[in-house]
């Protein structure tokens, strides 16, 4: 009924980033840029020991303690818990210490220099208990450090019957693969500013992905209702999962100090503290046992997947679930058994990081399939081609693929763009006479977008769109701009839904006091799930304006703005709220791990070209091709930017980023010795978006690029030096040992 808008569609166009000018001019306000009159600073005193009974806290001489606000577990007005899933993590350690970075005492003072002195003068007396530090010690129950058996979560996925397949196999191939911890390393460290008192309740401003997660945690700690806890997102300098759950802890700490002191409190982690104390990617170990027919067809996959969750359950159960579902990859196999476990250790809890379990299990699979190919006597590409999922086939969870995906076509395209075959030949030639060896390798994978299974239904996200008195349309959502482009793509989607200009759309600052709970900014869900709600809510505004006779079909952008002004002047606020409805065809069995794990998947084939210097044992990526089907691309420049950034993090995961542990603590907690790729390290990253005729709307792309680089790079290194490598990060010293062993 509404004719096509005279404006060109903004979706698909590289429109300017909504907050771009503020960012390039230094005007954007991040949490550490905020200041309030009378504001003082907070600091955290940590346990220092990995596992212990907490006996007493004492305060050393020489510090004017009477000037300090001091908070311990006894000062918590509500529950001493950081509410998330199992609620096992205390806000401040009270009787037991379960990792060496556990917060025990909080201090606040107007002078930051003095605070640092004071932190060193707090003595925490403990009776040490024996800790466990890794997967083997935890699974072996060297000590029971969590629950009855150290198991934070167990999942079991069964499709067909693997036990009957082994006897029919021409080949049975086994392998074991490991991935290390990885730091998100957002360039803005975590931090919060809080105001709190009994009359006003609690307000925090900070760096975060999920304002409503923080609100939920504060409500429990302060025993306050939602309307007395307000959480506001400041401009946020990167998240990548690292600002999903941990900000709740910092918010609670800042607010406790504000509550007790009666003053606004700023609590910002410096880099060393952020690296040592906050969450990292779960270390993992995956064992594969695979039955294959003579022609290379997969008969059975038996997969044992274990992740190290650290001291508390936090998000490990969901990380494990996603890792499990992605463990069998984009392949058709009649019999699949996956047993997966998240185990507790006495390290700081591991947490959300782009990919959320999938990069770990996909690394194992894409390395293992190269081994399977070698055993069967096929090329890595031919083995995959014979097993790729196609439309109508079922994934490991029995989810039938409805879309016409063309993984073989994507593989061909990626190999062609990277000149894979030609380089295979020329590198083999080159490697005969050179001390640096070249290689090329690839990985094929998929990534499910949005919450797993019934997750989106349970979230029941709500988005609002309102008409403003100044004639703008304002989007009300709790989904945060953390660099990925939320503000811009939401504006594009709303402007297109209404046929109005881009500057007629505003995006409200995420603030639990004024935006509805549209769910967390995680799981590549913002564009695909929440973006669709933005469109529906926007249409609700139009419907009201048209229905009330203030807007006539065939309107221009200016007409729309005038109608908004007129409506608000005459009738007051106009707000349209929409809630997520799960499509009825989606069904998921959380116990058997069968059904529609995700509404949609993005598909990809990544190719890496590497060189290994046999003098220094450094490996370097020379070229990278990323081919993916992510459905509709709303903003081509930002989408490519997401892929490029994810690939760079994947290169770091594979080759540079080595968390060195000592008694459950990160030793290299500095940017000087925890190395991420620089502009001089990254290769050209060539991004190609492909679509099939029925690719549909956007499918989520934020996490996808984290999954493929590590296996593609290690497959390329295997091609270069002929050594089989089964662990990342792959440091020069590891390569030296490997090459020595060839």
Q: Which residues bind other proteins (CB under 8 A)?
A: 14, 16-17, 19-30, 32-33, 61-64, 111, 113-114, 117, 121, 184-189, 235-240, 270-271, 482-485, 637-638, 640-641, 644-649, 670-672, 676-680, 682, 684-685
**What distances in angstroms separate CA 280 from CA 186, 361, 382, 460, one per listed residue?**
12, 16, 36, 28
Among candidates 531, 232, 210, 525, which has minimal Cα distance to 351?
210
Q: By CB neighbour count within 10 A (0-12 exposed, 13-18 middle, 19+ buried), where does 119 fall?
A: middle
Q: At closest approach, how far in Å is the CB of 703 from other proteins?
A: 14
Q: Which DSSP string corresponds to 163-228?
A: GGTGGG-SEEEEEEEEE-------SSPPEEEEEEETTTEEEEEE--S-HHHHHHHHHHHHT--GGG
* Residue found by looking up tokens 């392949």 in the block: 331
d(CA 130, CA 142): 9
d(CA 347, CA 329): 30
Q: At closest approach, how far in Å is the CB of 270 from other proteins?
A: 6
Query: Which is closer to other proteins, CB of 605 or CB of 647?
Result: 647
Query: Which is closer to other proteins, CB of 121 or CB of 416?
Result: 121
Query: Which is closer to other proteins, CB of 14 or CB of 130?
Result: 14
Instruction: Check if the beta carbon of residue 635 is closer than 8 Å to that of residue 13.
Output: yes
Query: Which is closer to other proteins, CB of 342 or CB of 638?
Result: 638
The residues with which 300 forms a beta bridge, in sequence order, are 291, 335
Instruction: Check if the beta carbon of residue 331 is closer than 8 Å to that of residue 384.
Output: yes
State the maximum Cα–Cα separation within the chain, in Å, rounded to a whole number: 82
Q: At closest approach, how far in Å is the CB of 667 from other proteins?
A: 16
Q: By CB neighbour count within 10 A (0-12 exposed, 13-18 middle, 19+ buried), where does 454 fall?
A: middle
d(CA 63, CA 121): 8
Q: At closest approach, how far in Å is the CB of 641 from other proteins?
A: 4
Which DSSP symbol is given to 226?
Answer: G
Q: At closest approach, how far in Å is the CB of 611 from other proteins?
A: 17
The pair phi, psi for residue 626, each rounded to 5°, is -120, 110
Query: Which is closer to other proteins, CB of 235 or CB of 496?
Result: 235
Query: Which is closer to other proteins, CB of 62 or CB of 225?
Result: 62
Query: Which is closer to other proteins, CB of 137 or CB of 183?
Result: 183
Q: At closest approach, how far in Å is the CB of 652 from other proteins?
A: 9
Q: At closest approach, how far in Å is the CB of 670 from other proteins?
A: 6
Q: At closest approach, how far in Å is the CB of 194 from other proteins?
A: 19
Q: At closest approach, how far in Å is the CB of 710 from other proteins?
A: 15
Q: Identify the three-state secondary structure at position 46.
A: strand
Query: Which is closer to other proteins, CB of 77 or CB of 110?
Result: 110
Q: Which DSSP string corresponds to 354-408?
A: TTTTHHHHHHHHHHHHHHHHHHHT--HHHHHHTTB--TT-B-TT-PBP-S---HH
Query: Which is closer to other proteins, CB of 4 or CB of 679?
Result: 679
Q: At closest approach, how far in Å is the CB of 486 from other proteins?
A: 11
Which DSSP symbol is given to 609?
Answer: E
Tell me the Cα Rg of the chain.
26
- 54-68 core/surface letters (b: 16 or more CB in 10 A; e: else): beebeeeeebeeeeb
Query: Which is closer to other proteins, CB of 117 or CB of 503?
Result: 117
Q: At closest approach, how far in Å is the CB of 185 from other proteins?
A: 5
Query: Which is closer to other proteins, CB of 118 or CB of 256?
Result: 118
Q: At closest approach, how far in Å is the CB of 422 from other proteins?
A: 24
Query: Which is closer to other proteins, CB of 117 or CB of 168?
Result: 117
d(CA 735, CA 728): 11
Cis preceding linkage at 729, omega within 30: yes
Instruction: Please count the other Cβ atoms lying within 10 Å of the Cβ belonging to residue 665.
Output: 21
Query: Which is closer to other proteins, CB of 273 or CB of 403?
Result: 273
Residues with Cβ within 8 Å of residue 36, at least 6 apart in sequence = 193, 195, 264
Among candidates 544, 467, 532, which has minimal Cα distance to 493?
532
Q: At closest approach, how far in Å is the CB of 407 from other proteins?
A: 24
d(CA 323, CA 285): 11
Q: Identify the three-state secondary structure at position 287.
A: strand
């Amino acid at each position: 009924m509404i004719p096509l808008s005279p404006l060109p569609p903004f979706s698909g166009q590289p429109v300017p980033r909504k907050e771009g000018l503020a960012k390039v001019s230094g005007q954007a306000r991040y949490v550490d840029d905020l200041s309030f009159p009378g504001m003082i600073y907070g600091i955290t005193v940590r346990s220092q020991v990995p596992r212990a009974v907490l006996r007493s806290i004492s305060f050393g001489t020489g510090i004017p303690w009477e000037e300090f606000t001091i908070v311990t577990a006894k000062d918590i007005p509500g529950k001493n818990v950081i509410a998330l899933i199992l609620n096992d993590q205390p806000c401040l350690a009270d009787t037991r210490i379960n990792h060496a970075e556990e917060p025990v005492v909080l201090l606040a003072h107007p002078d930051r220099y003095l605070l640092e002195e004071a932190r060193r003068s707090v003595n925490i007396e403990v009776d040490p208990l024996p800790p466990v530090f890794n997967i083997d010690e935890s699974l072996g129950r060297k000590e029971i450090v969590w629950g009855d058996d150290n198991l934070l979560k167990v999942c079991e996925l069964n499709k067909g019957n693997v036990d009957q397949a082994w006897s029919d196999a021409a080949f049975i191939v086994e392998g074991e693969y490991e991935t290390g911890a990885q730091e998100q390393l957002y360039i803005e460290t975590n931090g919060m500013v809080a105001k709190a008192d009994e009359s006003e309740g609690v307000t925090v401003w900070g760096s975060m992905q999920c304002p409503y997660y923080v609100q939920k945690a504060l409500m429990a700690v302060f025993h306050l209702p939602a309307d007395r806890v307000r959480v506001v997102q400041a401009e946020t300098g990167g998240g990548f999962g690292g600002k999903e759950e941990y900000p709740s802890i910092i918010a609670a700490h800042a607010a406790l100090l504000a509550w007790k002191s009666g003053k606004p409190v700023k609590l910002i982690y410096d880099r060393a503290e952020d690296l040592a104390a906050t969450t990292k990617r779960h270390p993992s170990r995956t064992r594969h046992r695979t039955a294959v027919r003579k022609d290379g067809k997969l008969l059975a996959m038996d997969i044992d997947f274990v992740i190290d969750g650290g001291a508390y359950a936090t998000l490990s159960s969901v990380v494990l679930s996603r890792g499990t579902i992605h463990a069998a990859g984009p392949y058709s196999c009649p019999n699949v058994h996956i047993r997966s476990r998240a185990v507790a250790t006495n390290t700081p809890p591991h947490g959300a990081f782009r990919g959320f379990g999938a990069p770990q299990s996909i690394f194992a699979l894409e390395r293992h399939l190269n081994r399977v190919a070698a055993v069967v006597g096929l090329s890595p590409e031919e083995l995959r081609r014979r097993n790729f999922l196609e439309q109508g086939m079922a994934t490991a969870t029995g989810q039938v693929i409805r879309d016409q995906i063309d993984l073989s076509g994507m593989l061909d395209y990626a190999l062609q763009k990277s000149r894979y075959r030609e380089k295979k030949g020329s590198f083999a030639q080159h490697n005969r006479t050179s001390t640096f060896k070249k290689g090329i390798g690839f990985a094929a994978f998929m990534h499910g977008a949005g919450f797993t299974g019934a997750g989106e239904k349970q979230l029941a996200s709500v988005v609002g769109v309102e008409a403003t008195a100044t004639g703008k349309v304002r989007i009300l959502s709790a989904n945060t701009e953390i660099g990925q482009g939320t503000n811009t793509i939401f504006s594009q989607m709303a402007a297109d839904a209404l046929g109005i200009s881009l500057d007629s759309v505003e995006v409200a600052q995420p603030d639990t006091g004024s935006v509805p709970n549209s769910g967390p900014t995680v799981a590549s869900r913002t564009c695909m799930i929440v973006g669709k709600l933005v469109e529906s809510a926007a249409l609700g505004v139009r419907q009201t304006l048209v229905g009330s006779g203030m807007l006539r079909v065939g309107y221009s952008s200016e007409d729309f703005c005038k109608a908004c002004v007129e409506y608000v002047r005459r009738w007051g606020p106009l707000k349209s709220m929409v809630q997520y409805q799960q499509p009825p065809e989606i069904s998921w069995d959380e116990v058997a791990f069968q059904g529609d794990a995700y509404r949609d998947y993005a598909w990809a084939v990544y190719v890496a070209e590497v060189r290994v210097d046999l003098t220094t044992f450094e490996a370097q990526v020379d070229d990278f091709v990323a081919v993916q089907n992510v459905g509709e691309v709303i903003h081509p420049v930002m989408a490519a930017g997401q892929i490029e950034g994810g690939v760079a993090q994947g290169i770091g995961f594979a080759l540079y980023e080595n968390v060195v542990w000592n008694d459950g603590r990160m030793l290299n907690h500095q940017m000087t010795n925890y190395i991420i790729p620089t502009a001089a390290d990254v290769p050209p990253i060539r991004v190609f978006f492909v679509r099939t005729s029925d690719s549909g709307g956007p499918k989520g792309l934020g996490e996808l690029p984290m999954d493929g680089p590590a296996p593609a790079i290690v497959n390329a290194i295997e091609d270069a030096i002929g050594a089989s490598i089964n662990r990342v990060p792959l440091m020069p010293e590891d390569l030296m040992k490997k090459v020595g062993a060839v």
